[in-house]
Structures are given as structure tokens and as C-alpha cells.
């Protein structure tokens, strides 16, 4: 079946603008995760959703970051008032449920100029 | 939170050589994943291994959960094995190590 897909693959934005990144998980997966990969911080967890439970937002670096998951499927990560330090590759993953094997999408490379 | 250490940080191999990558973690975990990040940035699942040994072709992995480490073995390395290898203990989320950068020369 289809894997995790993300869009756009690349995004260049000016400092101060808002951006939205999209993730389509594997069909039937109830858990969805966002991670970020940057040169200085490596791969770090941002947020996860499990079914209808409240999301775990413990990894979000600031209140400029938010995410939602509509209908238990597609998720959108929103970064408001982007800063240069937000430049990174944003990776989405999904799994059958929490604690199950996670599968990653190709990522969105965000560049803030 | 859990700490993850991978070694070595860098490794250069001649094609055909074998190697062992190590992952130490600081706390008990439910499971552990190994990934290969290819030159295009895609994270490819290698193993999902809470304990014991699994094999997939030229690759195998062993996790000793009681001693909090996991090993990834690569045998008869090929240039396509080049990239970054990550281990990531799995609780509610993955916690990634810094990775091992592997370069296989022909």
C-alpha cells in the first residue's frame, strides 16, 4: 500500500510568514507523529496524535508551533511567524497505534530566509 | 528523558568489509527501531526489535534490553549501504541517537 506522504517537499519562506505542512499517514494507522531534523539538534520529536486522545505536544519548541489532525487521518503542522532557526526538515511518521513500528514520510525541507 | 548514544560516530569501510554499530540507551524501553537514512534523506526501516536477534539479508540486529544496548551488524558491505544509521528506542515516541555516518568505498 501507499506509504506516508508529505507536502510540499520543499518550502522557502520569508522570516515572519506563516507556513503549513501537510502529512497523509498510512491508511489504517491511528497514531501520527511529527519530528524535526536540523543540523544542530538532530532528530527530535515534536508532537503525536493517537486516535481521538488529546495530542502529546511536549516536544513543540514554542507556541508558534501547532498541529491538528482532522478526521483521524491527515495532519497539518503550522508554524506562525517563522524564524530562521525554524529551518529544518520536518518529518511525519505513522504507526498502527502507539508503541508500534513507525514509518516515515519523505519530509518537507523548510528554509526561512 | 532517555539518553541514546551511538558509536562510532563515523565509519569508513572498503566494499566487502563487515561492521558493527552500537546503540546504548539509558533506560528501559518498550521497543527499539533501527533506520538507514539514505542520501536523499528518506528514513528506511531496518529493524523493530525489543530484544533478541533478527536478520534481514546482510543485516542483522541484536538488542539486549536488560543491559540497555543494541547492535547492528552489516556484513559484506556495499556502496549502497552508505548513509546515516540511527537507532531509536521507542516509548510513546522515538528518541533518536546522533547516528553513525557510514561511507563504503568501492
Residue A113 inside a domain? The answer is no
Residue A7, classified by CB atoms within 10 Å of its CB into exposed (0-12), middle (13-18) or buried (19+), is middle
pLDDT of B34-86, one tens digit each?
Answer: 999 998 899 999 999 999 999 999 999 999 999 999 999 999 999 999 999 99
> How many whole angstroms separate alpha carbon A99 and alpha carbon A101?
7
A101 interfacial to chain B (CB closer than 8 Å): yes
> How many whole angstroms separate alpha carbon B64 and alpha carbon A33?
27
Are the Cβ atoms of A106 and B33 closer than 8 angstroms?
Answer: no
Are the Cβ atoms of A98 and B96 closer than 8 angstroms?
Answer: no
Nearest to A48 among B35, B48, B92 (CB): B92
Q: Which residues does chain A have within 8 Å of residue B45's beta carbon, measured at their own beta carbons?
A: 101, 103-104
When pLDDT is cut at 50, 70 and 90, the band that residue A1 belongs to is low
Range of the domain at A72: 5-107
> What topology is assigned to B4-105 in CATH?
Immunoglobulin-like (2.60.40)
Residue A112 inside a domain? The answer is no
Which of A49, A60, A104 should one mutate to test binding to chain B, selecting the residue with the greatest count of B CBs within 10 A? A104
Domain-by-domain residue ranges, chain B?
A: 4-105
How many domains is chain A partitioned into structurally?
1
State mean pLDDT over B18-31: 94
Q: The domain that contains A16 carries what CATH number? A: 2.60.40.10
Interface of B with A (CB under 8 A): 30-31, 33, 35, 40-43, 45, 48, 86, 88, 90-96, 98-99
Cα A104 off chain centre by: 10
Which of A6, A102, A103 should one mutate to test binding to chain B, selecting the residue with the greatest count of B CBs within 10 A? A102
Q: Which of A13-22, A37-46, A59-68, B14-23 shows the lowest per-residue confidence on average (mean pLDDT)? A: A37-46
pLDDT of A38-77, one tens digit each?
Answer: 987 789 999 999 988 899 999 999 999 999 998 879 999 9
Amino acid at each position: 500500500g501507499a506509504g506516508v506522504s508529505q507536502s510540499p517537499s520543499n518550502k522557502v519562506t520569508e522570516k515572519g510568514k506563516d507556513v503549513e505542512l501537510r502529512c497523509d499517514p498510512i491508511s489504517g494507522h491511528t497514531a501520527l507523529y511529527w519530528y524535526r531534523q536540523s543540523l544542530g539538534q538532530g532528530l527530535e520529536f515534536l508532537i503525536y496524535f493517537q486516535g481521538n486522545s488529546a495530542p502529546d505536544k511536549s516536544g513543540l519548541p514554542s507556541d508558534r508551533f501547532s498541529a491538528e489532525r482532522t478526521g483521524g487521518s491527515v495532519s497539518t503542522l503550522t508554524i506562525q511567524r517563522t524564524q530562521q532557526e525554524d529551518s529544518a526538515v520536518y518529518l511525519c511518521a505513522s504507526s498502527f497505534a502507539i508503541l508500534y513500528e513507525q514509518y516515515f514520510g519523505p519530509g518537507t525541507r523548510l528554509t526561512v530566509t | 528523558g532517555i539518553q541514546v548514544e551511538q558509536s562510532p560516530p563515523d565509519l569508513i569501510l572498503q566494499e566487502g568489509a563487515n561492521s558493527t554499530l552500537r546503540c546504548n540507551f539509558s533506560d528501559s524501553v518498550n521497543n527499539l527501531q533501527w533506520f538507514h537514512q539514505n542520501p536523499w534523506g528518506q528514513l528506511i526501516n531496518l529493524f523493530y526489535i525489543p530484544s533478541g536477534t533478527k536478520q534481514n539479508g546482510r543485516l542483522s540486529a541484536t538488542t539486549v534490553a536488560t543491559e540497555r544496548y543494541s547492535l547492528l551488524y552489516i556484513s559484506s558491505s556495499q556502496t549502497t549501504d552508505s548513509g546515516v544509521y540511527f537507532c531509536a528506542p521507542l516509548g510513546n515516541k522515538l528518541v533518536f541517537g546522533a547516528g553513525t555516518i557510514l561511507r563504503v568505498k568501492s
